[in-house]
Structure 1
Amino acid sequence: MRAFIFPGQGSQSVGMGKALAEASPVAREVFQEVDDALGQHLFKLMTEGPADDLTLTENAQPAIMANAIATLRVLEQEGGVRLSEKAVFVAGHSLGEYSALCAAGAMDLATTAKLLKLRGQAMQAAVPVGEGAMAALLGADIEAAQKLADAAAEGEICTVANDNDPGQVVISGHKGAIERAVAMVKDFGIKRGVLLPVSAPFHCPLMQPAADAMKHALADAAVGAPVVPVYANVLAAPISNPMDIRARLVEQVTGRVRWRESVLAMFDAGVSDFVEFGGKVLAPMVKRSAPDANATSVVSMDDIEAVLKGF
């Protein structure tokens, strides 16, 4: 059994999608449709930069989704395969959950792009620059990370944002609390704490204004049932009902990305092969969480051809 998975923020880079678009008219159509939906030259920004503009949350989120969906569409249309026949689940890390829903037909491409543009803008606006921060804890399991976050909070927000794999947890909250946590890592048996170069403290209660904005936007958005269930970040469990999907996407803005648990749950449900589209971030996490699973990253035409041989 196979799951198709989709990366989150941080997997963007200048030049993304360029080679794929040069090689495939299918990919070019995806990038053009996203440009048209957003009314901006996002693909030009993806391929030419500048990097600072691409890294802005409101640009990075739809760009990462567009690149992932373009990669999948090339596989499907030029390889003659259907997602519903090759995957039993889809899942994505944070914004990647939107990519997964688009891939599985729960949202069309234009709707997904517009929602992610809004999501990026709302997340950026939720907390003034400089008030929030995030840090990666390396060599930390979820229990140690939670204890550290609780100790460092001192009345401020400091919480686990991403449970990525058995050795990497990300915390998020007020800048002072996150800096205290980084300084205290050794006391909790954690190898290292690294402040992340992010513009806002994602997946923590400080994001409530963004969650409110997404609740309003998702209420009006066309969301249908996916052709295969999607593993919701906040549940680490599969859902298919459109009302559930809307609610979980709202919760996800302030809630924890339970990626390690999602991988283990899919593996326990019989998934032995994980295929990541448009990035090379999630496959290594999968291998660290479920060492007996196969995990492949699909970015280039060569990657697509190699994966097709395995189908």
Structure 2
Amino acid sequence: MKHAFIFPGQGSQFIGMGKNLYDEDEQAQLLFDKANEILGFSISDVMFFGTAEELKQTNVTQPAIFLHSVIAFKTLTTDKPDMVAGHSLGEFSALVANECLSFEDALKLVSIRAKAMQKACEVNPSTMAAVLALDDKRVEEICASITNEIVVAANYNCPGQIVISGSIKGIDEACKLLKEAGAKRTLILPVGGAFHSPLMQPAKEELTKAIEETAFKPPICPVYQNVVAKAVKDSTEIKANLISQLTGPVRWTQTVEQMIADGATRFTEAGPGKVLQGLVQKINKEVQVDGIG
């Protein structure tokens, strides 16, 4: 019986996020204040009192979700994780939870990652779309059949829910073909660009330098990383997978299945929202699912 902690990615943000933590806990206040100092602006003000538009900017969203997740984990539980995983951005929160990265270093990396991704989105206007009720293999085949544009499977969220990523023309073409192939629905997502696709290559180059210059300690428990969907404990390997993640897919379905195969019986989502709790239940109804934040 193992207790897994999981951490959400972009899309879970909401106005007022984290304010309850700040109001109720002195350690949370210190961490928010430290974050404002590191980032050079008051992210806590944007999180607690900003507009949805301000919070939606990638360079704000990513640090905001990271902060909410890590501070919830640090202040609302005394449980030590047996294993951790994070969805995309959430992988950085997971690496703080298993003590591979310090809070400060992880926040700096998240900020660099967010700004680099925002820049890559501006250079190559691009998007993502959710595809419902179509076999993963079929989705991959259709993406591969579009050779004049970039389109790839980006997020394997749960059985029957996959997100594709690519150029605007490529995604439009793919959505048409996927519907013809029997997808129940295709839905363009309100995101800044084609995350987890080759279009993030410029951001990957920027993040690589920052990750290579950051100290990663041996973790206290394995992290199940997005690109390999298996337990990793070697710091060098963790770094390499974290770099690959920007242009590689988030294999969430496979990650959760592997965690269960390795003994996970309880999944606690730390951070804003309940997105991952819902996905875990769709992947396996037998495990216990709860959340903190």
Common fold by TM > 0.5: yes
**Amino acid of the residue matched to residue 72 of structure 2?**
T
Q: Judging changes above 3 Å, is the alpha-carbon distance between structure 1 residues 273 and 82 closer, same or farther for their aligned structure 2 residues? A: closer
Residue in structure 2 matched with residue 13 of structure 1 by the alignment: 14
TM-score, normalization by structure 2: 0.96
The range that moved more, 198-207 or 121-130, is 121-130
**Amino acid of the residue matched to residue 285 of structure 2?**
P
Name the SS of the counterpart of 1:194 in structure 2: strand
User: Residue 290 in 1 paired to residue 284 in 2?
Assistant: yes
Identity among equivalent pairs (%): 38
The range that moved more, 122-131 or 224-233, is 122-131
Residue in structure 2 matched with residue 211 of structure 1 by the alignment: 204
Residue in structure 2 matched with residue 181 of structure 1 by the alignment: 174
Give distance in 2, aligned partners of 1:128 and 1:179. 19
Quote the offset at 1:141 in angstroms: 3.1
The range that moved more, 135-144 or 267-276, is 135-144
Residue in structure 2 matched with residue 170 of structure 1 by the alignment: 163
Instruction: Give CA deviations for 1:82-120 in whole Å, capped at 9, x if unaligned.
Output: 42xxx2100000000000001111111111111111101
Matches within 5 A, 1:27-66: 27-66=28-67
Quote the offset at 1:264 in angstroms: 0.2
Matches within 5 A, 1:202-281: 202-279=195-272, 280-281=274-275
Name the SS of the counterpart of 1:272 in structure 2: strand
**Amino acid of the residue matched to residue 27 of structure 2?**
V
Runs of at least 5 residues in structure 1 that lack an aligned partner in the other structure: 300-311
Residue in structure 2 matched with residue 148 of structure 1 by the alignment: 142
Give distance in 2, aligned partners of 1:107 and 1:186. 43
Q: Find the partner of 1:99 among 93, 113, 126.
A: 93
Name the SS of the counterpart of 2:196 in structure 1: coil
1:129/1:200 contact within 8 Å kept: no
Residue in structure 2 matched with residue 117 of structure 1 by the alignment: 111
> Greater relative contact order (Cα 8 A, min sep 6): structure 1 or 2?
2
2:7/2:94 contact within 8 Å kept: yes
1:135/1:193 contact within 8 Å kept: yes
Q: How many residues align?
A: 291
RMSD (Å) for aligned C-alpha atoms: 1.3
Instruction: Give CA deviations for 1:269-308 in whole Å, capped at 9, x if unaligned.
Output: 1111100001311011001111211111222xxxxxxxxx
Give distance in 2, aligned partners of 1:141 and 1:64. 30
Runs of at least 5 residues in structure 2 that lack an aligned partner in the other structure: none
Q: Judging changes above 3 Å, is the alpha-carbon distance between structure 1 residues 218 and 238 closer, same or farther for their aligned structure 2 residues? A: same
Instruction: Give CA deviations for 1:223-267 in whole Å, capped at 9, x if unaligned.
Output: 111111101100001111111111111100000000000000001
Residue in structure 2 matched with residue 306 of structure 1 by the alignment: none
Name the SS of the counterpart of 1:212 in structure 2: helix
**Amino acid of the residue matched to residue 233 of structure 1?**
N
Residue in structure 2 matched with residue 132 of structure 1 by the alignment: 126
List structure 1 runs of 4+ shifted beyond 3 angstroms: none
Give distance in 2, aligned partners of 1:176 and 1:257. 22
